[in-house]
Amino acid sequence: MEKLEQGLLMQPWAWLQLDENSLLAKVYITKQGYALLVSDLQQVWHEQVDARVVSQRAKELNKRLTAPPAAFLCHLDDLLRPLLKDTACPSKATFVCDHVAEALILRVRSELSGLPFYWNFHCTLASPSVVSQHLIRPLMGMSLALQCQVRELATVLHMKDLEIQDYQESGAVLSRDRLKTEPFEENSFLEQFMVEKLPEACSVGDGRPFVMNLQSLYMAVTRQEIQGRQKHQGTGDPQPSSSASPQGTENQLLNQPEEPAPSLPVPEKEPPGTSGPVHRPQLSKVKRKKLRGLFS
C-alpha cells in the first residue's frame, strides 16, 4: 500500500461544495485500490482500501453488476476526476456527504452500462501521522519556502535601489515624476504589512484560497519531501494519478488486466501520451436471484 500512500501525498487538494458542506479533498486511484483524504478544516478523514475491499463492497452495493475490482476502480476514477479536477465538466454522478458519529460517508450514485451504480466511501478520522504528512509538514515547508522567497525579493529590491542610486549619482533624471519610488526598507515594509495586509492575507475562509492559489507550491513541497525520503531509502518515484493531477496525466490503472469475471473483461487504460478511445467495460445484466448477503 506504500504506492497509494505516496501517490496520495503528491496530489493537490481540491475544493468541494456538497450541499452545505465545504470540503477539501484529494484522491489517488490505481488498479490495486484507492486512497482518499477529506477535510472540513475542523477534522480530517481518511480511507485507504485495496482491490479485495473494493470487490467486496461492490458486491454488497451493486448486486446486479458483475465486474472485477479494476472495472469499478476505473469507473470511480471517471466519476471523481470531474469533481476534483475539471469543474467545467460536471460529473455524471450525485454525491452526498453524511456524518455518522466520527466518520464521514461520501455516497455516490451514478449509472454504469444502463444500470444503477452505488458506492460509499467510508472515511474515518485520520491518524495524527496522516495529518502531519499531508498538512502539517507541507504547510510548514510552504511557509519556509515563502519566507525564503520574501528574503530573495528583498535582496533584489535592495540591489535595484543601489542601481537607481548609481544612475542618480551619474546625473540621470526621471522623465516622469510619478515613477519615482522611495528606497525599500524591509523592516518598515514588514511592519506595515502586518498592520494593513495581514488580516486579509491570512483569511482562510472555507479553504478555497488555499486550493486556488497555493497548490503548485504544495505539490512542489510534497514532491521534495518524497524525493528526500526516496533518496534516503533508495526507492523509485511514484507517478501522479490523473484523478487530481493538474498536469492532466492519465490515471494509473495498469494495462495488464486481472483475471476477468466470465461476464466482463478488465478495462484497459491507454498509457499517457497515446491517443484513441478508451475501452470501457461492457457489463452484463445479471438475472435477479435470491441472494444471501449483507443487503439481502
Q: Is 0.75 topped by the overall pTM?
A: no
Would you give the DSSP letter of residue 87? T
Q: Any residues with CB less than 8 A from the CB of 110 and at least 6 apart, and which?
A: 75, 79, 91, 92, 93, 94, 116, 117
Do 143 and 118 lie in a common domain?
no
Query: Final residue of a domain: which of 126, 159, 179?
Result: 126
Of 134, 96, 168, the closest CA to residue 4 belongs to: 134
Range of the domain at 65: 1-126
Q: How far is CA 237 from the centre of its chain?
A: 17
CATH number at residue 30: 2.170.210.10
pLDDT in tens, 156-203: 999 999 999 999 999 988 888 888 889 999 999 999 999 998 888 888
Which residue is it, cell 480530517?
Answer: 44
pLDDT in tens, 11-62: 999 999 888 889 999 999 999 999 999 999 999 999 999 999 999 999 999 9
Query: Final residue of a domain: which of 206, 232, 258?
Result: 232
Contact by Cβ (8 Å): 106, 38: yes
Our count of domains for the chain comes to: 2
Do 94 and 158 lie in a common domain?
no
Do 111 and 224 lie in a common domain?
no
Do 73 and 154 lie in a common domain?
no
User: Does residue 127 register a pLDDT over 60?
Assistant: yes
